[in-house]
Chain A
């Protein structure tokens, strides 16, 4: 490749590296690639080039070369949506093992065929947790009758219904008002999102149930990747894996900080036992699995593949 080649790296999170997982991933990717090759890396943070769906489309067209996205990947490569099945991963290290192991590799290969985007590495957006302002939740029975704001995404509606709550799809921008006025009793988000947006001031209780694990996909346009020299490919691949891990670390850091901070500001945080978590899993998974299998059709095999991978990683 020529010495002037530029990698445009786009994502939708803030640019700073101390608190933004994708921001941190992009920075270390640039540092490594620029340090060890003649490639130039330009970072486009905070959705400067568009929302996640736009970014995926641009990477597919080679307008950008590298993008780091979460939810948009499953819209481009449906099989990736199996990761959203609630209570699939008992812990983050298990998720890392699954995604960094054969399952993650197979999924990456499948998505490469589907999209022309090579998944270089996985980062994470984090586990999502329920909060509410009515009562402490320890088991699904405590959720009965509570109105939860969900993203307007069918999978989340299915999940909250299966747990006995009342899902109310509300746009993100309307959420603080809806919580303040009691239009909904609760919501669900990663801890960092809850804390950074002050939602803990509007909510009394949080359960660290980690119902959905959201992964980040660090992907590169395949044609561009193939145009690199083997040496450059090696550096780019390695930098991406380090970047994914950096993203995970920053995410873990902000979650741990956030859990402490919301408690310091008066929120009651509950860590469920493994028995209680099993009750959540048994309530939510069958309905969502069935619904998702219908959506995926032929690709529903990925559900079993994921379950097998999680089982072997949890051993």
Chain B
């Protein structure tokens, strides 16, 4: 009982999540009835982190930091601005479509929020948007990042579920990611009353032609990185290292924005930012061991299968479960806990494994923008400083839009499975 107290009190009083979990696990191992052993905490953390495929995470985060430093982010924004900046509430559309382009370069929504948020939140406010709306839109549209390949959650999903390939999931995410952008854009077009806003000249660059040309080199990267993964030439981890090399060449040689002297700082920041995520993964691995040992997954499975007998019922239950879990658990952590339990049930009920993977990932990525624990929300709040209460109110309509897209994806599986089928996965 004290274990739950430590966990919940720790979480509520502001102990970092990873340490709240570890503190509870340590207490459990040290004081629990034999045969627990304190060694298990370190053992499971070590095995939780000890995977080659997981290295794609720090590498993609490093690639993201390098792209920020090299001015690629601004080029992306300028590129998107030429495409959709002229619409009514143009800057809001640019925010969304810059995320789509950014998604092709980055595998993480948090990286998207922090890179684009720093530019868009102040800029949108300058143009008359509510600051909390700008922060909410930035966080909401950054969810596109891990849906469109490359994607860190996809890599981890394929790691958990053997027999579902990264290329198939990457292909499957493309249409849902674009669909999410279209829906967010439609919502903005229907509701935002701000009249035709031309972005700052600062953002749009000297001329549309130059902006488009300037976007070409950065845009070649996803074509090259994702393409090589889809062709099966490289593994996602190797591709992530190529993404780093490409961003290094662009930043140091082509754009000359990154100096040799700044590399230690960039590399250190990337490792630090990765550690913030990976230490949670390690802590969850330890917690997972305890849950498994006490057969919690089996009990959950029995309970679900006892209560649910059709595919539709199951998928609805999964959506509700993941939306609920997404409130409290970091997406990757939630996946590590729940996917091993739910995937076999999904398969036994005849759900396509790739379809199910995208549903789960989309679902958990929505969790990134839901309080009390939404990483993108935290990052957006860190930039916007409008207070979580205001930001929460502002994010609600976007949350509903994203749930609507999720429901459509869930019940029209062809949207997800079309591309992978077409290319023979």
Contact = CB atoms under 8 A, between A and B. Distances in A.
Given A62-B35, A63-B40, A49 B292 contact: yes
A40 to B, nearest CB: 11
A169 B254 CA distance: 37
B292 A44 contact: yes
Interface string B5-49: 000000000000000000000000000001111011001100100
Given A54-B47, A57-B43, A63-B37, A49 B293 contact: yes
Given A49-B292, A50-B43, A63-B35, A181 B52 contact: no
Interface stretch (A66-74, A170-178, A302-310): A170-178
A80 B36 CA distance: 28
A174 B39 CA distance: 31
Contact of A171 (B52, B234, B293): B52
A61 B29 CA distance: 13
Contacts of B272: none
Contacts, number: 44
Contacts of A48: 292, 297, 340
A17 to B, nearest CB: 15
A177 B234 contact: yes
A180 interface: yes
A61 B35 contact: yes
B163 to A, nearest CB: 9
Interface residues of B, number: 21
B94 to A, nearest CB: 38
A8 B36 CA distance: 13
Contact of A62 (B34, B53, B233, B235): B34
B292 A61 contact: no
Given A49-B289, A49-B293, A61-B37, A180 B43 contact: no
B35 A173 contact: no
Contacts of B35: 61-63
Contacts of B39: 57, 61
Given A50-B43, A173-B235, A177-B233, 12 more contacts: A42-B295, A44-B293, A48-B297, A49-B292, A51-B47, A61-B37, A61-B39, A62-B35, A63-B36, A173-B53, A180-B232, A181-B233
Interface of A: 8, 42, 44, 46, 48-51, 54, 57-58, 61-63, 171, 173-174, 176-177, 180-181
12 contacts: A48-B340, A49-B292, A50-B43, A50-B44, A54-B47, A57-B39, A57-B43, A62-B35, A63-B35, A174-B235, A176-B232, A177-B235
